[in-house]
């Protein structure tokens, strides 16, 4: 696709739209990508990144990561750091699936042990971890108890026997964003979410059995620190978020912000999808507290899914999960806004960092990551398509400019509708099984939407993040089994 004539190449991985590109831009917009990726970027990315650069209080640059593509308000892959004293908070900069995120789990099994039982494993996971639109989990909660989950996150799961103490240490923010307040959440949101703990959902969400083959290890020392110690070791990666709960919270507050943005606060934006309110305003603080509820629900959702995965492996291999080495590598969030301290023009400042389809990527020695990873940097998980594989990376010290943010996935190259026109789900399943990947799906149409050709080259995305100094490649993980939402 044609890139804007105003786009300037700053370096091999940085491309910039100046503030003169669009009226109202307060900072330049920067796209992190190599030559291949920038030339394939859809036009919406450039327009949306420029619109984000108009947000009141934005600092330094509006960013988009190498996996960037058109989204709601922000491009997916969009990053904006806002001065909390003078700036805004925008649901479009966080997304509808609040805390959509990735979790990577180890085993001490190798591919040769798992292959003979792969169909059994995937079938059992498909049964124990409900997938698809409207799926309900096995954890039965009242509305009041669900509100406690939303305020406690993964700590609620540990208290009720759905996790190990180290799981919290290995989850971003310990599996709980402090300050969540369920009284700021609508009854409609609670109704949509209270029975969805322990479910994958739909779209690009998945639960995947993967193999770390020797030829796909880029950094053996860091891989060992992260727990990958055996040739052809089997790991489990899954991707899901806050389901209907987060979607409703985003919907509720977008409507509320649209009602007050201009009339009460005098803010106008190029795109109504960037509806916002001053962060320190009553509306901004209410949304921040409600958003944290969705973040915590998503952490709890992934924690319960992990509990079910451990059950399945234990049942099939007749060994305790601990004996199977089923500890976590890490859990990273994507769609969030967080108050963090960053170095800006030589001064340390508190900023509200919006990450929409983008991953926090703290480097070695930074506070906020587990002690065991202080020398390597934070584990980063970049999910690829179900046909191609995913990446485990580590945060780099050079991530200062992007507020220590990196890519979150491979990024779509075409619409779901277009993908469904190009392949049938049943045929795709057969083709994948012939290539050694056994997949179960809640919907044939949903499977077709997620075909590998609908996504960017995951290798190119991972290489670009490394070249840009945002995160370095540790291991490429090959899929052999998949439960698809």
Enumerate the active-site residues.
408
Burial of 98 (0-12, 13-18, 19+ CB in 10 A): buried
What does 190-252 look like in DSSP terms, one character per residue?
HHHHTT-TT--BSTT-EEEEEEE-GGGBS-HHHHHHHT--STTEEEEEEEE--HHHHHHHHHH
Sign of CA dihedral 448, 454, 456, 459: positive
Rg (CA), the chain: 21
Q: Which letter, b or e, does each residue of 394-429 get, where b requires 16 or more Cβ atoms within 10 Å of its Cβ?
A: bbbeebebbbbbbbbbbbbbbebeebbeebebeebb
Side-chain-facing half-sphere of 472: CA atoms under 13 Å = 16
Structure tokens at 122: 């995937």
How many Å apart are CA 114 and CA 480, to the nearest integer? 10
**What residues does 297 pair with on adjacent strands?**
none
Beta-carbon contacts of residue 167 (< 8 Å; ≥ 6 apart): 154, 158, 175, 303, 306, 328
Letter string b/e over residues 131-140, b meaning 16 or more CB atoms within 10 A of that residue's CB? bbeebebebe
Structure tokens at 182: 């369920």
Q: Rounded CA gap, 451 and 422, in Å? A: 9
User: Residue 169 carries which DSSP code?
Assistant: H
* Structure token digits, residue 65: 């990561």
Evaluate whether 167 touches 236 at the Cβ level (below 8 Å): no
């Amino acid at each position: 696709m044609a890139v804007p004539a105003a786009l300037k190449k700053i370096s091999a991985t940085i491309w910039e739209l100046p503030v003169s590109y669009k009226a109202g831009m307060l900072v330049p917009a920067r796209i992190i990508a190599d030559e291949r990726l920038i030339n394939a970027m859809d036009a919406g990315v450039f327009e949306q990144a420029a619109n984000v650069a108009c947000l009141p209080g934005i600092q330094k640059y509006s960013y988009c990561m190498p996996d960037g593509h058109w989204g709601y308000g922000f491009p997916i892959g969009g990053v904006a750091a806002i001065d909390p004293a003078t700036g805004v908070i925008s649901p479009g900069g966080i997304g509808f699936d609040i805390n959509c995120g990735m979790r990577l789990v180890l085993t001490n099994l190798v591919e040769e042990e798992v292959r003979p039982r792969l169909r059994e494993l995937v079938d059992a996971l498909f049964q124990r971890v409900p997938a698809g639109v409207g799926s309900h989990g096995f954890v039965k909660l009242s509305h009041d108890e669900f509100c406690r989950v939303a305020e406690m996150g993964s700590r609620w799961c540990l208290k009720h026997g759905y996790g190990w103490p180290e799981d919290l240490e290995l989850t971003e923010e310990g599996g709980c964003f402090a300050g969540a307040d369920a009284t700021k959440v609508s009854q409609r949101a609670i109704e949509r979410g209270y029975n969805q703990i322990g479910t994958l959902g739909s779209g690009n969400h998945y639960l995947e059995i993967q193999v770390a083959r020797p030829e796909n290890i880029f950094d053996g020392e860091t891989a060992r620190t992260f727990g990958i110690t055996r040739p052809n070791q089997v790991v489990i990666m899954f991707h899901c978020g806050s389901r209907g709960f987060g979607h409703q919270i985003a919907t509720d507050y977008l409507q509320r912000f649209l009602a007050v943005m201009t009339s009460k606060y005098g803010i106008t934006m190029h795109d109504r999808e960037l509806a916002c309110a001053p962060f320190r305003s009553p509306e901004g603080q209410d949304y921040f507290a409600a958003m944290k509820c969705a973040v915590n629900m998503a952490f709890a959702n992934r924690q319960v899914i992990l509990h079910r995965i451990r059950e399945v492996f234990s049942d099939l291999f007749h060994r305790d999960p601990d004996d199977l080495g089923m500890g976590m590598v890490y859990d990273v969030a994507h769609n969030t806004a967080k108050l963090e301290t960053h170095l800006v023009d030589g001064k340390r400042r508190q900023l509200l960092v919006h990450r929409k389809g983008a991953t926090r990527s703290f480097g070695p020695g930074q506070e906020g990551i587990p002690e065991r990873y202080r020398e390597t940097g934070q584990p980063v998980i970049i999910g690829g398509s179900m046909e191609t594989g995913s990446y485990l990376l580590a945060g780099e010290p050079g991530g200062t400019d992007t507020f220590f943010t990196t890519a979150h996935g491979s990024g779509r190259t075409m619409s779901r509708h277009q993908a469904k026109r190009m392949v049938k789900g049943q045929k795709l399943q057969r083709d994948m099984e012939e290539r050694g990947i056994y997949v179960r799906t809640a919907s044939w149409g949903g499977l077709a939407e997620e075909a590998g050709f609908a996504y960017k080259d995951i290798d190119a995305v991972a290489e670009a993040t490394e070249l840009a100094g945002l995160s370095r490649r540790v291991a490429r993980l090959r899929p052999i089994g998949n439960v698809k939402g």
